[in-house]
Structure 1
Amino acid sequence: MAYLEHVNITVAAPDATAGMFVDLFGWHVRWSGNSIHNGYSVHVGSATSYVALYTGEKGSLHDAQQVSYNQRAGLNHIAFVVDDLDTVETKVKARGFEPHSHADYEPGRRFYFQDENGLEIEVVQYD
Structure 2
Amino acid sequence: MKLEHVNICVPDAKSHAAVLMDLFGWKVRWEGPAKDDGYTVHVGDDESYLALYTPAWALKPEAQRYHHQAGLNHVGVVVEDLDTVEARVKAAGYMPHSHADYEPGRRFYFDGPDDVEYEVVSYD
* TM-score, scaled relative to structure 2: 0.95
Q: Which residue does the alignment assign to 1:63?
A: 61
Equivalent residue number for residue 21 of structure 1: 20
Could you tell me which runs of 5 or more consecutive residues in structure 1 were left unpaired when the two chains were aligned: none
Aligned length: 124
Deviation at residue 42 of structure 1 after TM alignment: 0.3
Asked if 1:124 corresponds to 2:96, the answer is no
Q: Which 5+ residue runs of structure 2 have no aligned equivalent?
A: none
Partner of 1:49: 48
Q: 1:116 to 1:22 in 2, by over 3 A?
A: closer
Q: Distance in 1 between matches of 2:83 and 2:30?
A: 30
| Local SS of the residue matching 2:28 | strand
Cα distance in structure 1, aligned partners of 2:117 and 2:123:
20
1:43-92 CA distance string (max 9 Å, x none): 011122110001011x521212x313110111110100001101101110
| Aligned-partner SS, 2:66 | helix
1:2-41 alignment runs, 5 A limit: 2-41=1-40
Of 78, 90, 101, which aligns to 1:104?
A: 101
Superposition deviation, residue 124 in structure 1: 0.3
Once the two structures are aligned, what percentage of the paired residues are identical?
Answer: 56
Aligned-pair CA distance for 1:120: 0.7
Moved over 4 A (4+): none
* RMSD of equivalent CA atoms: 1.1
Take 1:116 and 1:48, find their aligned partners in 2: how far apart are those partners?
23
How far the C-alpha of 1:116 sits from its partner, in A, is: 2.8
TM-score (norm 1): 0.93
